[in-house]
């Protein structure tokens, strides 16, 4: 019942003189994603963005920017190299490549260091590890060109517990019910959504409103559950702290908060201990910050019989 | 500068009618250890036990019991299978095989599940995982025969900091100085010791007093430092809580405490948060307990440039 929810992620910017990324046909993205062993399941578009739900996570394509997130044992780096090759390295104006430490890294086909060796040959940049090897850690590669990235906020949840977690593991799920439990229509009333339920479990949803996106991926499997939420919505403009609301619903044992060019406020977070934090100035335009939280109460572990 | 300090460990008991393990010559142990890519560096004996410092950790041989600990990329399982084969499975009266989650599991030649598949074919038993996959976790395989294991206490320290940690990373180390810094002569005045300093850094020490042992292995490398301490000394009979004294000297960021048939008291531990605990009844005679601690203060992480 194990599935590697931990994600690899690329944010790619092209210069405004290059052909719009939205002009590339769906076939192009299918071909690019096939390199990573991923495929398109459905899509949602508005005048700013094309959002695709994938067999492993999500792809968002704006005119001059793309965001691609894949999980499982996908080789995201192969898709990235294919896209860079097709667009032409001269047109790449910015790039951030991230990998979360995996639950089972030995099952991955590549390690971060392997990916970076390939990527560095195309786009010069700097690689970082944030966090200790024996704890949650994040790898980040950022291109040397110092363009200013738009803000993005990320919430990663581990070991969800309680009623909603139970429902997500049950045989009787539906997209409509999950969407209702996540309360997205109340939290983001202006957004349009596109979601997918996996077999035997697992759920992905993309949301769009103008140039804003939100994406949630749920790997509910008992003992290795993982939920990621990523958005470019600025919470300060909303009546709710969306991350705090999702933390209440999904009740994770621990969680990470990652901000690029934003500080995410902790208002309304469940009672917690902040175990670690990192503020990293990537260059003159971009700041990366990372916080790792755990529920306040000490955990009583149940040994798993293998 | 990375070295995998995390250990694999076997405790093996043979029935009293079998040939004493101490009757096997040094050549036998050399041959057995070669299977795992380990070798003997030095030894210390008393009337109860032969203690060997190895190229990777330690071997202790009593008449009807052995304890073998190896780190790095050793294949301890191959040594275990060789020894069981030579002794004869009929003579094995008890067995505990443990693995700590590694800093870099993808560099290991085997995973715990691989080891157990081989071991189970020789000695039936039950396998457990204690702790979440995305945090410190311990694997344990215990043979079905329910003999009562002697008590043992284990302290594992991560990310040591401060003056002693700096000294252990320096070019100007000596065994005598490390032994003095660890304060072992004061803590365990009746013990005889045998130690070894590795190049460019790393330190192992075995101690014996009658049938009691203590072993410490230090991997001081910055950003992946790890220290293990294992003993069958009952601290309640000593004026000091030895683990608390070593925690003060080595000042780790986090630590695990593992007891087999003993509860280790926290008296004198540095200011901490206990993040998780597990009490596991292995069978009618044996109890395993695990505690994970972290320093009380939230950590400010420094991103590592790779």
Judge whether B92 and B13 are in contact, CB under 8 Å: yes
* Residue B128: pLDDT band with limits 50, 70, 90: very high
**B300 in any annotated domain:** no
Compute the nearest-CA separation of A189 from chain B (Å). Answer: 35
Task: Please tell me the total count of domains within chain A.
Answer: 1
Spell out the SS3 assignment of A10-38: EEEEECCCCCCHHHCCHHHHHHHHHCCCC
* Residue B208: pLDDT band with limits 50, 70, 90: very high
* Residue B236: pLDDT band with limits 50, 70, 90: confident
Structure tokens belonging to residue B98? 């443990």
Sequence-ordered strand ranges (E) for B65-191 = 65-70, 92-100, 125-130, 138-143, 152-160
Return the bridge partners of B289, or none: B259, B279
**B306 in any annotated domain:** no
The reported pLDDT for the residue numbered A239 is 81
The chain A residue lying nearest B273, using CA atoms, is A298
Q: Is the pLDDT of residue B240 over 90?
A: no
Residues 98-117, chain B, touching A (beta carbon < 8 A): 101, 103-106, 108, 111-113, 116
The reported pLDDT for the residue numbered B147 is 87
Domain housing A167: 8-295
Cα(B5)–Cα(B218) distance, integer angstroms: 8
**A108 in any annotated domain:** yes
* Closest residue to B301, CB basis, from A104, A158, A278: A278
Per-residue pLDDT of chain A (306 residues; tens, 9 = 90+): 899 999 999 999 999 999 999 999 999 999 999 999 999 999 999 999 999 999 999 999 999 999 999 999 999 999 999 999 999 999 999 999 999 999 999 999 999 999 999 999 999 999 999 999 999 999 999 999 878 889 999 999 999 999 999 999 998 899 999 999 999 999 999 999 999 999 989 999 999 999 999 999 999 999 999 999 999 998 877 888 999 999 999 999 999 999 999 989 888 999 999 999 999 999 999 999 999 999 999 999 999 999
Residues of A in contact with B134 (CB under 8 A): 101, 103, 136, 158, 224
Structure tokens belonging to residue A121? 């040959």
**B303 in any annotated domain:** no
* Closest residue to A128, CB basis, from B105, B130, B303: B303
Beta carbons of A275 and B126 less than 8 Å apart:
no
**A3 in any annotated domain:** no
Distances (CA, A) of B101 to A103, A288, A306, B132, B166: 11, 29, 15, 10, 25
Beta carbons of B113 and A306 less than 8 Å apart:
yes
Ordered strands of the A57-61 beta sheet: A40-45, A50-54, A57-61, A65-70, A8-14, A92-100, A138-143, A125-130, B304-305
pLDDT in tens, A23-72: 999 999 999 999 999 999 999 999 999 999 999 999 999 999 999 999 99
* Closest residue to B301, CB basis, from A116, A223, A276: A276
The interaxial angle of helices B112-120 and B76-87, nearest 10 deg, is: 10
Q: What is the mean pLDDT of residues B26-47?
A: 96
- Best probe of the B interface among A105, A108, A132, by most B CBs < 10 A, is A132
**B160 in any annotated domain:** yes
The CATH number of the domain where B93 resides is what? 3.60.90.10
**A304 in any annotated domain:** no
- Give residues with Cβ within 8 angstroms of A117, minimum separation 6: none
**B219 in any annotated domain:** yes
Structure tokens belonging to residue B175? 């065994």
């Amino acid at each position: 019942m194990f599935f590697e929810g931990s994600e690899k992620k690329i944010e790619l910017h092209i210069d405004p003189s290059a052909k719009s990324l939205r002009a590339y046909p769906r076939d192009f993205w299918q071909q690019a994603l096939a390199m990573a062993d991923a495929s398109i399941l459905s899509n949602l578009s508005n005048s700013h963005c094309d959002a695709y739900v994938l067999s492993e996570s999500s792809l968002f394509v704006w005119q001059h920017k793309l965001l691609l997130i894949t999980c499982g044992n996908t080789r995201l780096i192969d898709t990235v190299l294919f896209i860079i090759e097709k667009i032409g390295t001269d047109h790449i104006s910015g790039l951030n490549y991230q990998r979360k430490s995996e639950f089972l890294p030995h099952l991955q086909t590549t390690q971060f260091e392997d990916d970076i060796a390939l990527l560095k040959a195309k786009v010069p940049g700097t690689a970082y590890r944030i966090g200790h090897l024996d704890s949650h850690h994040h790898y980040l590669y950022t291109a040397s060109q110092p363009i200013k990235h738009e803000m993005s906020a990320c919430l990663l949840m581990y070991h969800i517990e309680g009623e909603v977690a139970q429902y997500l593991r049950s045989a009787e799920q539906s997209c409509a019910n999950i969407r209702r439990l996540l309360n997205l229509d109340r939290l983001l009333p202006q957004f349009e959504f596109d979601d997918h339920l996996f077999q035997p479990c697992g759920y992905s949803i993309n949301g769009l409103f103008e140039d804003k996106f939100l994406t949630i991926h749920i790997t509910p499997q008992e003992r290795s559950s993982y939920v990621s939420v990523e958005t470019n919505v600025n919470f300060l403009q909303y009546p709710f702290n969306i991350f705090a609301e999702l933390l209440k619903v999904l009740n994770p044992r621990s969680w990470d908060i990652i901000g690029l060019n934003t500080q995410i406020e902790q208002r309304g977070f469940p009672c917690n201990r902040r175990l670690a934090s990192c503020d990293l100035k990537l260059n003159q335009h971009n700041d990366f910050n990372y916080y790792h939280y755990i529920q306040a109460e000490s955990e009583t572990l149940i040994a798993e019989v293998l």
